[in-house]
């Protein structure tokens, strides 16, 4: 995530420049001349976003207005520093033109890579639907599914459905022929770097150990924390009025051009130190869970999110939430409210104006209309949004991976074979 303040007189020209990347509002041209997203074969999703408060929070705001900022946010395979270098190589002049609308941008001879690295901001929490699944893997598995689906229909017309083992053998032979002809490829997964594996293991073991060591201190101070929490819950003001209709129409015009949508929301953290420390702590726990527990298609019980990140800005005073999800915004919010309202409360109840909670996890997001109004008031239009595999949901990606697994690991029973064939048909 690269973020920089926009120069005072450059906001409107920058907005027009970003919108020029789109074929129509909400639909990017992946091969546009300003930033050719399609040339980056490690890039899953990306967005250019103008970060500013657009709907007033007069009831709850305690901060002076933040200057408008330009954000480039991308989820990519591999290390971020190598991707930033790749950006400079493949789109250096274009990026200089775009970021040239920001305050104190560098001169022509200065390093664009160094500038982007200096403005790169790490998330407080980051969710990846399926850690380790690359863009290349997604495209190869999609091609495999499409090829097998057509061949399965042909085989069924020829020999019927009664012999699943014979059907499977013919499909596997078909895959081998297509691979030999270079019409299909199934690239083996790259080995996990040893240093990354070691760091990940230390993180997986270290966080629970640290919490265990600190548990006596938590028990000691818990009466005060509970008292302070309930005191704030009774006094914190809400800001849950219905957003202006014209603003909602503006946001809706950018949605539902694909099965997946972007969502960007920006708001203040409540001013009390208790709340600022709480949001940091719960995002730290969320990041741990997303990294080690919810890394195979689920964020608790929600299965529709491809990527999401929570970024704390302005010295713990503001929070940016950015996600990529399947379906409409209404279904997205309903999914969370119905399945994990308590999880929303843990983090977002520390946001200024959030619907009142009880004991941190009760009420809050359970108050459906209040929560939806709160979230929509802080939603931002995403000026430019790119997805490397349009038309594919998180369910599609998981199904395609299971189909590939069935090619590489043979099923033993007829029932398992039928289940594999059924996935090819969907």
- The full DSSP string for 114-143 is HHHHHTB---SEEEESBTT--HHHHHHHHH
Burial class (CB in 10 A: 0-12, 13-18, 19+), 6: buried
What Rg, from alpha-carbon coordinates, does the chain have?
Answer: 24
* 269: phi then psi, degrees, rounded to nearest 5: -85, 145
Contact 264, 379 (CB under 8 A): yes
pTM for the complete prediction? 0.94
DSSP secondary structure of 141-160:
HHHHHHHHHHHHHHHHHHH-
* pLDDT of amino acid 57: 61
Contact 399, 370 (CB under 8 A): no
Closest CA to 280 of 125, 128, 126: 125
Q: What pairs with residue 130 in β-bridges? A: 296
* pLDDT of amino acid 65: 86
Q: What pairs with residue 127 in β-bridges? A: 308
What's the first-to-final CA gap in the chain, in angstroms? 36
H/E element, 30: none
Encoding tokens for residue 252?
A: 């809706």
* pLDDT of amino acid 218: 94
Encoding tokens for residue 386?
A: 């790119």
As a whole number of angstroms, the distance between CA 308 and CA 299 comes to: 10
As a whole number of angstroms, the distance between CA 272 and CA 356 comes to: 16
Contact 96, 50 (CB under 8 A): no
Note down pLDDT in tens along the chain; length 426 residues: 999 999 999 999 999 999 999 999 999 999 999 999 999 999 999 999 999 987 766 678 888 888 999 999 999 999 999 999 999 999 999 999 999 999 999 998 899 999 999 999 999 999 999 999 999 999 999 999 999 999 999 999 999 989 999 999 999 999 999 999 999 999 999 899 999 999 999 999 999 999 999 999 999 999 999 999 999 999 999 999 999 999 999 999 999 999 999 999 999 999 999 999 999 999 999 999 999 999 999 998 899 999 999 999 999 999 999 999 999 999 999 999 999 999 999 999 999 999 999 999 999 999 999 999 999 999 999 999 999 999 999 999 999 999 999 999 988 899 999 999 999 998
As a whole number of angstroms, the distance between CA 426 and CA 409 comes to: 20
* pLDDT of amino acid 412: 87
**Largest Cα–Cα distance in the chain?**
74
Contact 131, 287 (CB under 8 A): no
* pLDDT of amino acid 62: 85
Contact 120, 88 (CB under 8 A): no
> CA separation (Å) from 85 to 35, 89, 214, 269?
15, 6, 40, 33
> CA separation (Å) from 165 to 50, 134, 144, 146?
55, 31, 19, 20
As a whole number of angstroms, the distance between CA 402 and CA 136 comes to: 16
Q: Strands 2-5, 362-363: parallel, antiparallel or unpaired by DSSP?
A: unpaired
Contact 42, 134 (CB under 8 A): yes
As a whole number of angstroms, the distance between CA 407 and CA 179 comes to: 12
> CA separation (Å) from 96 to 4, 32, 51, 88, 268?
13, 16, 19, 9, 31
Chain-centre distance of CA 283, in angstroms?
15
Encoding tokens for residue 267?
A: 């708001």
């Amino acid at each position: 995530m690269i973020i920089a303040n926009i120069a005072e007189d450059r906001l409107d020209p920058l907005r027009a420049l970003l919108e020029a990347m789109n074929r129509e509002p909400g639909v990017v041209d992946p091969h546009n001349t300003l930033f050719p997203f399609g040339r980056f074969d490690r890039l899953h999703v990306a967005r250019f976003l103008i970060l500013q408060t657009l709907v007033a929070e007069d009831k709850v705001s305690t901060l002076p207005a933040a200057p408008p900022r330009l954000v480039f946010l991308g989820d990519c395979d591999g290390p971020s520093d190598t991707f930033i270098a790749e950006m400079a190589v493949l789109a250096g002049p274009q990026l200089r033109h775009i970021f040239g609308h920001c305050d104190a941008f560098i001169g022509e001879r200065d390093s664009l890579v160094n500038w982007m690295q200096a403005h790169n901001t790490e998330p407080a929490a980051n969710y990846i639907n399926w850690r380790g699944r690359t863009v290349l893997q997604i495209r190869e598995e999609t091609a495999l599914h499409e090829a097998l689906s057509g061949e399965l229909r042909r085989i069924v017309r020829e020999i019927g459905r009664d012999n699943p083992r014979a059907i499977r053998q013919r499909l596997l032979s078909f895959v081998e022929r297509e691979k030999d002809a270079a019409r299909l490829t199934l690239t083996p997964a790259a080995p996990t770097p040893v240093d990354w594996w070691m760091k990940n293991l230390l993180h997986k073991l270290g966080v629970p150990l640290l919490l265990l060591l600190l548990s006596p201190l938590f028990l000691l101070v818990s009466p005060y924390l509970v008292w302070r929490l309930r005191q704030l819950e009774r006094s914190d003001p809400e800001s849950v009025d219905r957003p202006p209709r014209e603003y909602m129409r503006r946001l809706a015009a950018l949605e539902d051009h694909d099965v997946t949508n972007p969502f960007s929301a920006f708001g203040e953290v409540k001013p009390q130190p208790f709340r600022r420390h709480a949001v940091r702590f719960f995002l730290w726990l969320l990041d741990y869970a997303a990294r080690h527990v919810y890394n195979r298609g689920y964020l608790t019980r929600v299965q529709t999110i491809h990527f999401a990140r929570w970024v704390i800005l302005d010295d713990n005073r503001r929070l940016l939430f950015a996600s990529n999800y399947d379906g409409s915004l209404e279904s997205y919010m309903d999914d969370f409210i119905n399945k994990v309202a308590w999880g929303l409360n843990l983090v977002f109840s520390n946001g200024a104006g959030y619907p009142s909670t009880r004991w941190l996890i009760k009420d809050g997001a359970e108050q459906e209309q209040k929560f939806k109004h709160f979230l929509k008031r802080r939603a931002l239009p995403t000026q430019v949004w790119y997805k490397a595999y349009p038309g594919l949901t998180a369910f599609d990606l998981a199904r395609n991976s299971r189909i590939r697994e069935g090619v590489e690991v043979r099923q033993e029973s007829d029932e398992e074979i039928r289940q594999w064939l059924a996935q090819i048909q969907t």
